[in-house]
Structure 1
Amino acid sequence: MISLYLPFVIVGAFLLLTLVVGISFSRKDTSFREYAVGHKQFATATLVATVLATAYSGGGLIRNVQYSYKCGLCWIIIALFVNSFSIWLFSRLMVRMPLFMHNLSIAETIGNVYGKYPRMITALVAVGSSIMSITIQIIAMVHAVSICVALDGLNARIITIFASFILIFYSIFGGVRAVTITDILQFITFTVIIPFLAWLMFRQTGKSMVDIVAFLGTQERFQLSSLFHFDTKCLSMVGMALCVLVPDIGAPEIMQRVYMAADPNQAKNTFLYVSFFSFLITGFILLIGLFIFVGGGSALRSTDVWYYITTHVPPIFKGAFCISLLAMAMSTADSCLNTSAVIVSHDIWAPLQKAKKMDDLRKLKIARWATLIIGLSSMFLAFYYQDLFSLFMLVFSFSLPVITAPALLAILGFRGTSRTALIGMATGAMTMLVWNKWIQAKTGIDGAFVCMLANGLAMMAAHYLFKQPEGAGWSR
């Protein structure tokens, strides 16, 4: 009887601790800037922890374990090597950020370079992307509670609603400070538990590492030859790898962490450390999938992987595994909530006001209402849409084709007009719609990277084909 309720008690205790920490570090912000990016005096270690907590989501944990089991070597290369290299590239871009470090959002950066209307479009796309990301994390929370705690679907949803309200609460009243502190708690939680989970799955195999490597070498999906099959599945993985390879310039919650840094050098060092630690964390996550493949065999459906885990760990670790998923999901969701609320207030509502500049008190009020509305919208959407991978690709479809190219060009030193940026954004969005209708629907190949290139090329064509005002072009 005790073992039946032990996971439930562990989950409840973790949620209560998160609420206490969130409330304890929530304070009345004196300015909208402090609510959005804090005092810009965070230690590098704090920034590293909050970036990793934001980047490693509950949906990402579920996806990586399932697809390392299902797709084998191809997925391992994308998740481990391509992703870490992408973060390293991101760190190299930070040296070109001095002009933008005072900004509060990626939309403001776009607006400073290209004008009001590109800023508004960026803000709308960023909010849409954030809603999709939050939805993914809420689905992950439902999934975690359902498989780890002995509850039916209705009660699992009730716990998930409770967890969602906790993160909405401290995001509303605590701003980025409360989000950052809870991110550190959640980061410590999942970075301690995930290696233990990998170790438990290793013990379940009953084999040595030498035997495991030898066994995987006999399996087709883990052989190098599996990478060189030229078919739609291979092209789909290439498309995914290209999306992952692009630095997360278009991800509003990641860029907010850049603006929280004191200067470009701290931002560069932060993401340099993140690239190293992401390699380690991803490695442990992928090992979980590999050990399940060895211990459980290839007959398992990818959706049954998590049930295999929960039936092969002690009750106390079942609860620990659940709070690991919850920690990863909540740390990503609260960052997206805070970022999108700041964008709604600072980049959508404020520019629409014809009166003089809005004061901080009104901006804070709008941001808090936006946090509540966006959080509730994502929660309700999660109960009607359950495909994690499709939502993951939808996030790319929002940000990569529209935001990434103009933002990347701006950071590299391009100064274009509003017309140039709008042509690029429209081209990226239209190309995405055409690709999804005529190509992805038939082949399953994601076109977000191609559409991002179309955006950038359209901007360059517009810049060089049309007469430009003095000062437009490459500034450095």
Structure 2
Amino acid sequence: MPLYNMPLFMVLAFLFVTLTIGLCISQKTNTFRAYAVGTQQFHTTTLIATVLATSFGGGFLMRTLPNFYDHGICHIFFTVGMHTAGSYIISLLPLHMGPFMQHLSIAETIGNVYGQYLRMITALLTTSCCIGIVAIQINVMSCAIGMCMDRTNPSILTVLATLTLISYAVFGGIRAITITDLFQLATFTIVIPLLLKLVFVKTDQSFLVMIKVLQKAEKIQCKNLFKFDKNYWIELFTILDSIFCVSPSIIQRFYMSSGAIQAKKVFSRVMLFNFIILIGIAVIALFVFIGNPTLQKEEIWSYILADMSPFYKGYVAISILAMTMSTADSHLQTASILISHDMVESMRNLQAPPYMHKLQLAKLATLVTGLLAMIITVYYPNLFGLSAFVFEWLTGYFVVTVIPLFILTVFGFRGTKRTALMGMGTSILVILIWNHWVKPKTAIDGTIIAVAANGLATMAAHYLLPQPPSTGWAEPDPQQKRMMALIRAFKKHRKNIDLE
């Protein structure tokens, strides 16, 4: 086999193995609950793996590494810090998720408190976000294949990879997605030390010389962390958004846990692994900077892949494919639940008997949303244009409207439909005004401002307007009280050990 065909062979082999794993698992899924969240008997390690695989999409590595190189210490510090802070906030939610652990989606949780109308709105906003994220992952597949395999038509392999993930997502549901995520995460985690080694060798410098280069580099100087100029504030507000930019499929992982305690363990450990992966990507970016400090942002991946053997190029390609597929399949499955479970239930009479064809509808929804995401990539073939559209219009509206309401609900706030709608409407108005008038002049993203506006408007509406007596902050249920007591006892015991 010619060497230049090796990356193509590796990609085809990876897709075949992934499809085989997914279809073998699919035979065990025969109920809608099993299709949506499994049997809630997943091992903690398995849940950690699927959360990590879903968190790091293919675009994350391709986008974050050049940004670390281009913006330097300030961007690295803010990105690592804010992602860790965001992971910490998410890890606090499971302790309060006890009343909602038997739900199947974020829309059902919000609908349980605010009614069917809010459930439908949440499902629509979340589904739109999921489809947009899947479209980005499909576009990243094409970019990765074209970047790593010069002699291969990326469109054919992109369609093949997309049909592969749609197939096992349709037939296997969450169990097939979770097991394939394990395989895909294993594939991805190997690429970081591999890139570290290859880029380190490419620098052809000793550690002492590397340290001297970094000491002389202006963008790597620690003083930039306290340089409060316009670029500093743009960077800060952009990264601050990541604290609340929680993807729908990550929230969906709450409902897969056996209980709140397991979910707490999962997301607490994910926080540590997120930190390690981000540090690894940052070190790769620093090695690239040492090897060639004059590269343009668009030239960084070309520099990394230059002179790389066909085998290594193939492995980089399948690693990025693994990241994109693990993110895309999870969002496809989340969208299918929202369509078949939440949208259908919102439109039906509450007294009506259960819908009998929910599982078949979920599989059809997975197929349709996957094909719709492919169509979107045809209209937005440019990755940057597609990302701007998705993050501004689809993901952006989900984050500023749904996430604050979900966090308030989980932490015990029980408002009315009116207060929730006022908060969501305020956030949409704020983000529209910001994007139209403020962002073009300042280049500062206003997502965090809109999120805060949502929470403040909801609280203001609740305390300033007449409310039913059943609304307000709810008392923790007995399970939450027991868990909080156990945590306090554990912390006290650990403190006593440290004093000894």
Same fold, judged at TM 0.5 (above): yes
Q: Which residue of 2 aligns with 1:184?
A: 182
Q: Which residue of 2 aligns with 1:99?
A: 99
CA positional deviation for 1:28: 5.5
Q: Which has the larger radius of gyration?
A: 2
Q: 1:317 aligns with which of 312, 315, 338?
A: 312
For the pair 1:17 / 2:17, whether they are aligned, the reply is yes
User: Any conservation in 2 of the 1:101–1:258 contact (CA below 8 Å)?
Assistant: yes
For the pair 1:382 / 2:377, whether they are aligned, the reply is yes
Q: Which residue of 1 aligns with 2:368?
A: 373
Distance 1:380 1:231, change over 3 A: farther
Distance 1:176 1:361, change over 3 A: farther
- Which residue identity lines up with residue 387 of structure 1 in the other structure? L
Q: Which residue of 2 aligns with 1:455?
A: 454
Partner SS for 2:379:
coil
Partner SS for 2:39:
coil
- The two structures have a TM-score, normalised by structure 1, of 0.95
Q: Which residue of 1 aligns with 2:238?
A: 240
CA positional deviation for 1:396: 4.5
More displaced 10-residue stretch of structure 1: 372-381 or 456-465: 372-381
Q: Which residue of 2 aligns with 1:337?
A: 332
Q: 1:225 aligns with which of 223, 226, 229?
A: 223
Superposition map of 1:41-52 within 5 A: 41-52=41-52
CA positional deviation for 1:361: 4.2
Q: Which residue of 2 aligns with 1:471?
A: 470
CA positional deviation for 1:75: 1.8
For the pair 1:413 / 2:409, whether they are aligned, the reply is no
1:324-354 CA-to-partner distances (Å, cap 9, x unmatched) read: 0000000000000000110111111221124
User: Any conservation in 1 of the 2:58–2:141 contact (CA below 8 Å)?
Assistant: yes
CA positional deviation for 1:103: 0.9
Aligned mates of 1:286, 1:392 — CA distance in 2: 26
User: Any conservation in 1 of the 2:84–2:275 contact (CA below 8 Å)?
Assistant: yes
1:82-123 CA-to-partner distances (Å, cap 9, x unmatched) read: 212321221122111101111111111111122222211111
User: Any conservation in 1 of the 2:336–2:366 contact (CA below 8 Å)?
Assistant: yes
Q: Which residue of 2 aligns with 1:348?
A: 343
Q: Structure 1 stretches of 5 or more lacking a match? A: none
User: Any conservation in 2 of the 1:31–1:360 contact (CA below 8 Å)?
Assistant: no
Q: Which residue of 2 aligns with 1:402?
A: 401
- Which residue identity lines up with residue 279 of structure 2 in the other structure? G
Distance 1:334 1:71, change over 3 A: same
Q: Which residue of 2 aligns with 1:256?
A: 252
Aligned mates of 2:439, 2:360 — CA distance in 1: 42
Q: Which residue of 1 aligns with 2:286?
A: 290
User: Any conservation in 2 of the 1:53–1:186 contact (CA below 8 Å)?
Assistant: yes
User: Any conservation in 1 of the 2:119–2:346 contact (CA below 8 Å)?
Assistant: no
Aligned mates of 1:437, 1:419 — CA distance in 2: 27
CA positional deviation for 1:164: 0.4
User: Any conservation in 2 of the 1:28–1:173 contact (CA below 8 Å)?
Assistant: no
User: Any conservation in 2 of the 1:232–1:445 contact (CA below 8 Å)?
Assistant: no
- Which residue identity lines up with residue 343 of structure 1 in the other structure? L
User: Any conservation in 2 of the 1:189–1:327 contact (CA below 8 Å)?
Assistant: yes
User: Any conservation in 2 of the 1:88–1:272 contact (CA below 8 Å)?
Assistant: yes
- The two structures have a TM-score, normalised by structure 2, of 0.91
CA positional deviation for 1:59: 0.7
Aligned mates of 1:261, 1:27 — CA distance in 2: 22
User: Any conservation in 2 of the 1:89–1:247 contact (CA below 8 Å)?
Assistant: no
CA positional deviation for 1:391: 5.1
Aligned mates of 2:261, 2:432 — CA distance in 1: 39
- Which residue identity lines up with residue 91 of structure 1 in the other structure? S
Partner SS for 1:383:
helix
- Which residue identity lines up with residue 470 of structure 1 in the other structure? P
1:237-259 CA-to-partner distances (Å, cap 9, x unmatched) read: 111222122373xx320111110
CA positional deviation for 1:461: 0.9
For the pair 1:113 / 2:113, whether they are aligned, the reply is yes
CA positional deviation for 1:225: 2.6
Superposition map of 1:162-201 within 5 A: 162-201=160-199
Distance 1:413 1:207, change over 3 A: same
Distance 1:371 1:261, change over 3 A: same
Superposition map of 1:73-152 within 5 A: 73-151=73-151
Distance 1:128 1:232, change over 3 A: farther
1:389-445 CA-to-partner distances (Å, cap 9, x unmatched) read: 525743551222101111111111100011110110111111111111111122221
Q: Which residue of 1 aligns with 2:492?
A: none
Distance 1:120 1:113, change over 3 A: same
For the pair 1:215 / 2:210, whether they are aligned, the reply is no
Q: Which residue of 1 aligns with 2:479?
A: none
User: Any conservation in 1 of the 2:245–2:399 contact (CA below 8 Å)?
Assistant: no
User: Any conservation in 2 of the 1:350–1:357 contact (CA below 8 Å)?
Assistant: no
CA positional deviation for 1:234: 2.0
Q: Percent identity?
A: 41
Partner SS for 1:25:
helix
Aligned mates of 1:236, 1:396 — CA distance in 2: 20
Aligned mates of 1:109, 1:460 — CA distance in 2: 19
1:184-231 CA-to-partner distances (Å, cap 9, x unmatched) read: 100000001221111110111112334323312221211123233444
User: Any conservation in 2 of the 1:424–1:455 contact (CA below 8 Å)?
Assistant: yes
Distance 1:31 1:359, change over 3 A: farther
- Which residue identity lines up with residue 33 of structure 1 in the other structure? R
User: Any conservation in 2 of the 1:137–1:329 contact (CA below 8 Å)?
Assistant: yes
User: Any conservation in 2 of the 1:167–1:330 contact (CA below 8 Å)?
Assistant: yes
- Which residue identity lines up with residue 430 of structure 1 in the other structure? L
Q: Which residue of 2 aligns with 1:6?
A: 6
CA positional deviation for 1:232: 3.5
Q: Which residue of 2 aligns with 1:272?
A: 268
Aligned mates of 2:268, 2:71 — CA distance in 1: 29
Q: Which residue of 1 aligns with 2:491?
A: none
CA RMSD, aligned part only? 1.7
For the pair 1:281 / 2:280, whether they are aligned, the reply is no
Aligned mates of 1:86, 1:323 — CA distance in 2: 28
More displaced 10-residue stretch of structure 1: 254-263 or 381-390: 381-390
Aligned mates of 1:391, 1:214 — CA distance in 2: 42
CA positional deviation for 1:284: 1.5
User: Any conservation in 1 of the 2:119–2:342 contact (CA below 8 Å)?
Assistant: yes
CA positional deviation for 1:3: 1.5
More displaced 10-residue stretch of structure 1: 396-405 or 239-248: 239-248
- Which residue identity lines up with residue 254 of structure 2 in the other structure? V
